[in-house]
Structure 1
Amino acid sequence: MRFVDHTFELPLDHDRPDGERITVYAREVTADPHLPWLLFLGGGPGFAAPRPIGDEGWLTRALKDYRVLLLDQRGTGRSTPVTRAVALSRGADYLTHFRADAIVRDAEEIRWTLVGDEPWTVLGQSFGGFCTVTYLSFAWQGLRAALVTGGLPGLHVDAVGAYRTLYPVVTAKNRAHYRTYPSDVEQARRVAAHLLSEDVRLPTGRRLTVEAFQAVGNMLGARNGSARLHYLLEDPFTGGSLSDAFLLSAQDALSWATAANPLYYLLHEATYAQGAGATGWAAQRVRGEFPAFDARAALSGDAPVYFTGEMIYPWMFDDDPLMAPLRPLADELADRPQWSDLYDVERLRSNQVPVVAAVYDTDMYVSRELSLQTAARIGDLRLWHTADHQHDGLRVSDGEVMSRLLAMLS
């Protein structure tokens, strides 16, 4: 692999090209510089592109056919960052410029700089797949083909509707976990009961509440997540207190949402927002419709404590001293009444750009139900609906998912 750094000075607001500018960084990874381009849009929002170290099976496979551009989406990595301090000083209006529509317009300016008017191929994983559907909606002329892994966004659904389809999947993941590891039922109940009676802090100073403990269930969406959760629960106590080993492992398990990526906290529900209507802390509101996730009610009887998934809740700001100052800003974004459109349904219906998409049957992060609905509405899309992989299939399948998608494309 050969690496080339690229930086681009782009408008913060593409509708005001003469206004404030930001830096967007991308890393070119090449085995043969004469191959066509593949733009990789990764998950998020708020996460930088992967940093290759040589054992990425999907990337190794992709480099046989493409020169790959790993984009640090605006606000992340080596692009002009959105830190906690930046978010606090710039406010909600500034953050609205860091969604999929702006990322796609960045990609188009980068394409013109690197390639000219020749279209390129895009590979979108998870949130990157959402960005890819935005690309197909508003800048399809720039695409030769599109590959999507980890699901497709709902075209007509808001954040509330998306979470209504996801909570049942998380419920099924919990049931499957407890069937595999029945001893974890009592262990999770012991930990939850302890947290209700004690003020427990993680090494970072973040309070480990019952709800925060439930949030370690986010790992259940990965290929080996159930085993990892079992090992976390295997021996959590030393005497009458939670052990240092458990607290360190729990802190690591909660690292999917940390102060290092404030955009993930602040814009997660906004990835579903279109047109009129506030997101209004949708995950928290919808949670009340699924009483199995009420840990206190579970402990009052003999029910298992259910873990939650990739949901952002308002208490995540309150319990984390690093994120607490951002709570008013998060509330303002949750109450924002109007968002730009992310998809053009009519354009997608008439799409002629070849698209291949992998939808994972038990995906805990992106709704299978909504993905299949969207797949049926995008023209020239070939679907791979599989139960053989989880949401992280592209990363952990040693190139199998990438090979399958490229075979479907050809």
Structure 2
Amino acid sequence: MPEGIRHEVRARHEFRGLRTAEHYFTVPLDHFSADGGFSGGEAEAITVFARELSSTTHTEEEARQLPWLLYLQGGPGGRGNRPTSLGGWMKAAARQFRILMLDQRGTGLSTPADRTTLPLRGDSAAQAAYLAHFRADSIVADAELIREALGSAPWTIYGQSYGGFCALTYLSFAPEGLREVLITGGLGPLSGPADNVYKATFARVEARNAEYFSRYPEDRAAVDRIAAHLRETPEYLPDGGRLTVERFQMVGSFLGGNTRVDALHYLLEDAFTPGPEGQRLSDSFLEQVYGLVSRAQNPLYALMHESIYGQGQATSWSAWRVLDDFPQFSPNADRILLTGEMVYPWYFEQDPALVPLRDVAELLAAKDDWGRLYDLEQLAANEVPVAAAVYTEDIYVDRDISLATAASVRGLQVWETADFHHDGIADDGEAIFGRLLGMVRLAAE
């Protein structure tokens, strides 16, 4: 067992062809020494949870002999998947691997960070200082300690979206822990500023709006009607927060998906219902919108989102500033557009789950001494087989930025496709996983 970590398995279960084991690891909050290297020395500890997944088509003994695959979830702030059976990419992966589904620090069962737990750290400054340890560099350091605690040889990692960002950090600072790397929709920029990301993102989201309204022309009037209604009539979400026009625009998260984009049409089609005082938004509509716009389940997404682009400079609410160059996204526009992944300061004024964290968010946005997340020299000299799916029309991780990053990583193979959007692995994960795994295995021969 590596120094600075404790490991225990608390429960095992088996159901519907899936075998699970629940792993808890105690790791240092701060992995890094003064010179920036990985360190497992004495430090304040946090818990990191991961669920082992394997197929019952293998005996328990056979499963123990399989190599590990670490899955790095999207986000930031998203907990690991909670599968109830093996399907999609996990079905394909479980034929050859034991899957380790990680709850990245601060999420799920990994010492969660939210409006309830963060005040235990002290004032807003103390909370912001604590959260500075919750970026990709720390996630990767956790993963390396976990790999060693499991007794694993260099393992395979699979990074989706933000998980791909973490994979690039892994390749930068701990490539010796990696056998091969698969990435889907997760080749982010290797340098700043964050403004470059949002200039590209707003343009792609605008194009995706046009595509959507071309597919469902009746929804153009539906969106405008809802916006006009919200300007004049107070409507409230299940948590008591008001649904404003700008919060309604957040349903544009559907636009990033292959199949989810059509679900947006179903959301809009029964938005209104008659009442004693005229047309109101239906409870069904408000409940669904709440699930899309509330950050109660993943507050770290809002708190830490722009910090994933911060390296040596403050992000200073980048998306909010860049929005000035895209007035067509204004909530006051005559024909509003739906938005994507952007995070704005008003989130922390309108979302009840985020209001207590407003001062913390301001401090994180102003932080100008973020450490580096990537080692460009190491990536240029990379020897680990890497294959990445780049989605041509991805509204979350820009295609041009992705290709520039790919060109900076020695040996990285790109499969570019227009057949999928950002959630491609939810659409045909088995085929996508198989293709990428085949690419890295061929490269290793």
Aligned residues: 401
Tell me the amino acid that sits aligned with residue 114 of structure 2.
T
User: Which structure 2 residues correspond to residues 104-253 of structure 1 after superposition, within 5 A?
Assistant: 104-115=140-151, 118-239=153-274, 240-253=279-292
Equivalent AA in structure 2 for residue 196 of structure 1? R
In 2, the alpha carbon distance for the partners of 1:10 and 1:318 equals 34
The answer to whether the 8 A contact 1:88-1:329 is kept is no
Give the distance between the partners of 2:305 and 2:84, measured in 1 at CA. 28
Q: Which runs of 5 or more residues in structure 1 are unaligned?
A: none
CA distance in structure 1 between the partners assigned to 2:283 and 2:352 by the alignment: 20
Q: How does 1:3-402 map to 2 (within 5 A)?
A: 3-15=20-32, 17-31=41-55, 32-90=63-121, 91-115=127-151, 118-239=153-274, 240-255=279-294, 258-275=295-312, 277-297=313-333, 299=334, 304-402=335-433
Partners of 2:72 and 2:157 within 8 A in 1: yes
CA distance in 1, matches of 2:26, 2:300: 20
In 2: Cα distance, 1:102 partner to 1:288 partner: 34
- Counterpart-to-counterpart distance in 1, 2:259 and 2:67: 34
Unaligned 5+ runs, structure 2 = 1-17, 34-40, 56-62, 122-126
Question: Is the Cα–Cα contact under 8 Å of residues 51 and 102 in structure 2 kept in the other structure?
Answer: yes
- Counterparts of 2:225 and 2:53 in 1: how far apart (Å)? 48
Separation of aligned partners in 2, 1:175 and 1:354: 38
**C-alpha distance after superposition, 1:117-146 (max 9, x if no partner):** x21111111111000000000001111111
Amino acid at match of 1:245: S
What is the distance in 2 between the residues matched to 1:305 and 1:37? 47
RMSD: 1.4
- CA displacement, residues 276-305 of structure 1 (integer Å, 9 cap, x when unaligned): x211111111111112112313x2xxxx32
Match of residue 124 from structure 2: none
Secondary structure in structure 1 of the residue aligned to 2:387 = strand
Confirm or deny: 8 A CA contact 2:30 2:43 kept in the other structure.
Answer: yes
Q: Secondary structure at the match of 1:356?
A: strand
Q: Per the alignment, in what secondary structure is the counterpart of residue 329 of structure 1?
A: helix
* Paired residue secondary structure (2:325): coil
Query: Identity, % of aligned pairs?
Result: 49
- Tell me the TM-score normalised to structure 2 length: 0.88
Q: Shift of the alpha carbon at 1:55?
A: 4.3
Cα distance change on mapping 1:248 and 1:327 into 2, 3 Å: same
TM-superposed CA distance for 1:322, in Å, is 2.7
Give a deviation string over 1:189-214, Cα, whole Å, max 9, x none: 11101111122211211111110011
Residue 323 of structure 1: CA displacement? 1.6
The answer to whether 1:409 aligns with 2:444 is no
Note the alpha carbon deviations across 1:32-89, whole angstroms, 9 max, x for none: 2212111111111111111121142100100111111111111111111112122233
Could you say what secondary structure the match of 1:85 adopts?
Answer: coil
Partners of 2:20 and 2:54 lie apart in 1 by 7
* Distance (Å, rounded) in 1 between the aligned partners of 2:52 and 2:206: 40
Dislocated runs of 4+, deviation >6 Å: none
Cα deviation, 1:160-182, whole Å, max 9, x if unaligned, reads: 11111111110011000110111
SS at match of 1:26: strand
Partner Cα distance (2:89, 2:405) in 1: 25
Q: Quick one: distance in 1 between partners of 2:437 and 2:265?
A: 36
- C-alpha displacement of 1:254: 2.3
Give the drift of 1:398. 4.6
- Contact map agreement 1:45 1:127 (CA 8 A) in 2: yes
What per-residue deviation string (whole Å, max 9, x for no partner) do you get for residues 15-35 of structure 1? 262120011111111232212
Whole-angstrom distance in 2 between the partners of 1:51 and 1:233: 28
Verify the 8 A CA contact 1:39 1:69 in the aligned structure 2: yes
TM-score normalized by the length of structure 1: 0.95
- Larger relative contact order (Cα-Cα within 8 Å, sequence gap ≥ 6): 1
After the TM superposition, which of the residue ranges 223-232 and 126-135 deviates more from structure 2? 223-232
